[in-house]
């Protein structure tokens, strides 16, 4: 392939910058909001074990493949897959990975923005002092009152979408590299403070027992599917987000070290968040299976017993919003890059048009907790359905196509050069996981989760 230097993409200034950006995409509501609540709903330990196995055996090799394909194609995911597909197998049909990804990312952002809006609302509540002293009852009322007010949720969802399109319209690299550099370390620091708190004040042992007692009987086929889906969701895999970022990665950076660092960060943050939240849950006799409201009803209780309650709450929710923000950028960027590079629209037009559509779609999730709360089908409300469809079905399906392409279609002489996993053995392991374990794992869990097995 001729080096396509006329690409409008820039390059990351360093490997650290790339790691920060991909971690910024990976670490988000998935780690702090979703992981604890789905772990609670699915019974704890066994779910966590399946999730960890999915991360290592399926997520990690696919993460490497996505970075590799992005770097090889050096374009938006649709164009990248078109170019690589044509070169490797004479067909442009593989671009379906990118097209599906734009669709999936947009669907995810539509409800992701609603939850990020809740977090923004909690920033305001902390400033107003409403989080200064809450107990389990008032925490529940606060959350219930918030989501049942449609105008309220509508407002915060709209504001979050505006924040997202604002930064994307300005252009990726200048927009995010700088802020992530400061926000990520701060978020990690605050989580560690909360961890210390939960060990001192909460039921940390009960939390550890809940998270790591591997009782497989507690897990249903549905639980396997949710664990697999979350491995994709939390690493931002299966829709081309990492592929889009990989397009900016210079050739001389180690792909496997980079992927390893990202997986480590992302998983550690989720587990720490889990320990913190379940310590509070068990210390206050809260219900671990309560669902999407879990962190909003537990963390304020934890903050209440800390000094400077409102300040800690304020900081935490600000950082959560920031984490959601750097993730949401990666959900819309592939679609925006596609509109720019393949249709010739300006970055501004592309961002506002796609962002507007996603905002509109998000209204179904805004109303899922009030006006449309009783309108349920398949998995539940619109919100539940968007989540299930994207995280548990579309992302793993996209991942399946990606790993099949990377493992079977891409010529091994190319992948061997890219996958620098410590010599021949490392490469063989990646190839084995990509060709057999990841596809088989996804297919088996799909069949099991959908009740076919
Ligand atoms: N990984 C993010 C989180 O855990 C969400 C996210 C951002 C995402 N970009 C993505 C999920 C792309 C799937 C695909 O919150």
Q: Which residue has the tokens 């004040």?
A: 201
Distance between Cα 355 and ligand 1 center (Å): 17
Kindly tell me if the per-residue pLDDT of 250 is higher than 90: no
What are 356-385's pLDDT values in tens digits? 999 999 999 999 999 999 999 999 999 999
User: Residue 238 — φ and ψ, nearest 5°?
Assistant: 95, 0
**Residue 146 pLDDT:** 97
> What number does CATH give the domain 3-449?
1.20.1740.10
What are 308-333's pLDDT values in tens digits? 889 989 999 999 999 999 999 999 98
What are 6-64's pLDDT values in tens digits? 334 566 667 777 888 899 999 999 999 999 999 999 999 999 999 999 999 999 999 99
Which of 368, 378, 339 has the alpha carbon at shortest distance from 356? Answer: 339
**Mean per-residue pLDDT over the chain, rounded:** 91
What are 164-186's pLDDT values in tens digits? 999 889 875 555 677 777 888 88
Q: How many Cβ atoms from other residues are within 10 Å of residue 249's Cβ?
A: 24
CB of 25 sitting under 6 A from ligand 1: yes
Both tokens of 195, joined, read 């961890």
CB of 233 sitting under 6 A from ligand 1: yes
Identify the residue whose C-alpha is closest to ligand 1 atom 6. 236
Distance between Cα 101 and ligand 1 center (Å): 12
What are 398-414's pLDDT values in tens digits? 999 999 999 999 999 99
Q: What's the rounded Cα separation, in Å, for the pair 61 and 401?
A: 13
CB of 19 sitting under 6 A from ligand 1: no
Q: Which residue has the tokens 């605050």?
A: 190
Q: What's the rounded Cα separation, in Å, for the pair 437 and 446?
A: 14
CB of 204 sitting under 6 A from ligand 1: no
**Residue 175 pLDDT:** 54
> Ligand 1: which of 51, 234, 242, 262 to mutate, judged by most atoms within 8 Å of the beta carbon?
234
**Torsion 193-327-271-264 (CA) sign:** negative
Q: What's the rounded Cα separation, in Å, for the pair 212 and 271?
A: 10
Kindly tell me if the per-residue pLDDT of 437 is higher than 90: yes
Distance between Cα 45 and ligand 1 center (Å): 23
CB of 327 sitting under 6 A from ligand 1: yes
Q: What's the rounded Cα separation, in Å, for the pair 62 and 262?
A: 13
The conformation of residue 76, written as its DSSP 8-state character, comes to -
Distance between Cα 49 and ligand 1 center (Å): 21
**Residue 325 pLDDT:** 93
Distance between Cα 52 and ligand 1 center (Å): 17
Kindly tell me if the per-residue pLDDT of 202 is higher than 60: yes
Distance between Cα 212 and ligand 1 center (Å): 24
Assess contact for 309 and 162: CB atoms under 8 A: no
What are 77-89's pLDDT values in tens digits? 999 999 999 999 9
Which of 139, 116, 115 has the alpha carbon at shortest distance from 309? Answer: 139
Output Rg (C-alpha) for the chain, integer angstroms. 21
Among left, alpha and beta (phi > 0; psi -120 to 50; other), residue 90 is left
Both tokens of 220, joined, read 């249903």
Return the percentage of the chain with pLDDT > 90, whole number: 73
CB of 390 sitting under 6 A from ligand 1: no
> How do the domains of the chain map onto residue ranges?
3-449
């Amino acid at each position: 392939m001729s080096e396509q230097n006329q690409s409008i993409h820039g390059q990351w200034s360093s490997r650290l910058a790339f790691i920060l950006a991909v971690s910024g995409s990976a670490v988000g509501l998935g780690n702090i909001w979703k992981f604890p609540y789905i772990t609670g709903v699915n019974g704890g330990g066994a779910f966590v074990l399946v999730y960890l196995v999915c991360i290592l055996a399926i997520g990690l090799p696919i993460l490497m493949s996505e970075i590799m394909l992005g770097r090889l194609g050096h374009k938006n995911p649709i164009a990248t897959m078109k170019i690589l597909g044509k070169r490797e197998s004479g067909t442009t049909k593989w671009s379906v990975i990118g097209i599906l990804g734009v669709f999936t990312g947009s669907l995810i952002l539509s409800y992701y923005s609603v939850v990020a809006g809740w977090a923004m609302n909690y920033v305001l509540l902390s400033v107003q002092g409403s989080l200064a002293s809450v107990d389990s009852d008032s925490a529940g009322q606060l959350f219930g009152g918030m989501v049942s007010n449609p105008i309220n949720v509508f407002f915060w969802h709209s504001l979050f979408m505006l924040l997202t399109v604002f930064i994307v319209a300005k252009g990726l690299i200048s927009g995010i590299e700088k802020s992530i550099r400061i926000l990520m370390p701060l978020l990690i620091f605050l989580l560690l403070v909360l961890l210390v708190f939960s060990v001192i004040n909460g039921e940390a042992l009960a939390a550890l027992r809940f998270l790591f007692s591997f009782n497989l009987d507690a897990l249903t086929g549905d639980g396997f599917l949710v664990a697999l889906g979350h491995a994709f969701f939390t690493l931002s895999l299966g829709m081309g987000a990492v592929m889009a970022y990989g397009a900016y990665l210079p050739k001389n950076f180690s792909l496997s070290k980079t992927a390893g660092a990202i997986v480590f960060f992302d998983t550690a943050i989720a587990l720490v968040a889990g320990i913190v939240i379940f310590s509070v849950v068990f210390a206050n006799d809260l219900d671990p299976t309560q669902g999407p409201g879990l962190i909003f009803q537990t963390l304020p209780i934890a903050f209440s017993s800390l000094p400077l309650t409102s300040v800690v709450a304020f900081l935490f929710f600000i950082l959560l919003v920031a984490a959601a923000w750097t993730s949401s950028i990666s959900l819309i960027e592939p679609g925006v890059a596609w509109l720019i590079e393949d249709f010739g629209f300006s970055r501004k037009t592309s961002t506002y048009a796609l962002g507007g559509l996603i905002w509109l779609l998000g209204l179904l999730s805004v109303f899922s907790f009030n006006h449309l709360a009783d309108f349920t089908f398949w998995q539940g409300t619109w919100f539940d359905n968007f989540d299930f469809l994207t995280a548990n079905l579309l992302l793993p399906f996209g991942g399946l196509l990606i790993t099949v392409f990377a493992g079977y279609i891409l010529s091994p002489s190319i992948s061997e050069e890219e996958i620098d996993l410590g010599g021949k053995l490392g490469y063989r392991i990646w190839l084995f996981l990509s060709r057999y374990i990841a596809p088989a794992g996804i297919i088996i869990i799909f069949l099991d989760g959908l009740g076919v097995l």
